[in-house]
Amino acid sequence: MRKGLSIDRDEKWRTPALFFILFIVALAVVAAIAHFLTGGMFLEARNAQVILSNSIYPTFIAWGLCFLFACGYTDLSLGAVVILGSFASCAFGNLYGYPGVVLGGLITGTLLVFVNFTIFAFAKIPSWIASISLAIIYEAVAIFLRTNSVTKPYVDAELSRNFRELGQFPVNVILLVVFLVIAYFLYNRTAVGMNIRAVGENKEVSRVLGVNIPGTLLWVGLICGLFSGAASVVQQSYNVKTFAMAGMTSIVLLFKPLAIALLAQILQKWIDIIIAVPFCSLIIYAVFNLMTLFGVPSGTLQDVFLGVFLIVFGIGGQKKTRGVVK
């Protein structure tokens, strides 16, 4: 009997590991085929570096979305938060160097998302409705900062060449690994991570079992804000300049991170969702890079594919969910 239990336990650990190995091999094979079909352009060092660098800051947002989805909430203002965080990273970075780049983005992102979840926790408003209102407010603030004669020179500027390393290879990869460890630890190895997932599974049962629901939501705000702030830092350091957006167009910035998070949800049966996110990010951005190499115009047609991805990944990620998906 003990021997049988031992075999079952071994199989339980072996199956995800085997899937992960096969997953990596499959990605390598597909990448090799894509490289051949593009005449040796796809895996060329410069193109591979572009794919990697473009995929990094959406990975941070997707990690934040993983914590959001785990607790059953939605925040559509994260795109506007990243814009304001990028403004702060640029303005304070040009004034105070790397401390300003890092702290400007991290503090702004963390503070704003914490405010969001304070509202979610204590106001009886569905999070998606509240977050749309907050997105409009944050977009208006960004427009004001960019048009006001006092603040315009600071937020409408390019980040100084002396302070862009955080968005450049290989420093951005090092940051990715550091935050991967942080995200994995918070999600899988802390009481806060366990409480977040418990609230998402069943809020009423969690309350009966002694989980502090408002306190847990505030923790989600801090964690998601941290990753949104990190996304702001890397985004500003890579793209150098950020533009304000209005009319709810900042939500567009969430589409690819959303596709990444949904694909990671599909894979989480075999791969931990936090570890799956950077691989899914590479897949999404590699696909769009391939479309560009094959001559598919950016914009309309590529957006059609992105919409299809969101629908397909959304169906795959929610297929076992019973009842209404909020």
pLDDT in tens, 86-127: 999 999 999 999 999 999 999 999 999 999 999 988 887 888
- What is the three-state SS of 88-120? HHHHHHHHHCHHHHHHHHHHHHHHHHHHHHHHH
When pLDDT is cut at 50, 70 and 90, the band that residue 318 belongs to is low
Element (H, E) at 30: helix 2-37
Q: What pLDDT sits at residue 319? A: 59
Q: Hey, what are 239's tokens?
A: 């793209």
DSSP state of 248: T
Place of tokens 């390393």: 165
**Amino acid present at 88:** A
Q: Which residue has the higher pLDDT, 58 or 2?
A: 58
Q: In this structure, are residues 104 and 92 in contact, taking their beta carbons and an 8 Å threshold?
A: yes
Specify the DSSP class assigned to residue 156. Answer: S
Q: Report the phi/psi class of residue 248: left, alpha or beta, with left for phi > 0 and alpha for psi in -120 to 50.
A: left
Q: Name 137's Cβ contacts closer than 8 Å, sequence gap at least 6.
A: none
Q: Which residue has the higher pLDDT, 255 or 304?
A: 255
What's the whole-number mean pLDDT along residues 49-68? 93
89-99, pLDDT tens digit by residue?
999 999 999 99
Report whether 264 contacts 66 (CB < 8 A). yes
Which of 19, 84, 62 has the alpha carbon at shortest distance from 282? 62
Q: What is the pLDDT of residue 14?
A: 56
Q: Which residues contact 314 (CB under 8 A, 6 or more apart)?
A: 262
Share of the chain above pLDDT 90, in %: 49
Output the average pLDDT for the chain: 86
Q: Alpha carbon of 131 to those of 5, 77, 218, 247, 292: distances in Å?
A: 48, 5, 15, 14, 33
Lowest mean pLDDT among 70-84, 118-132, 167-181: 118-132
pLDDT value, residue 146: 92
Q: Are 283 and 27 in contact (CB under 8 A)?
A: yes
Query: What letter does residue 306 receive in the DSSP assignment?
Result: H
Q: Which range has the top average pLDDT, 227-231, 285-289, 295-299?
A: 227-231
What pLDDT does 103 receive?
96
- For 184-188, 202-206, 232-236, which range has the lowest pLDDT when averaged over its residues? 202-206
DSSP letter at 157? S
Cα 78 to Cα 40, 68, 74, 243, 281, distances in angstroms: 37, 11, 10, 15, 17
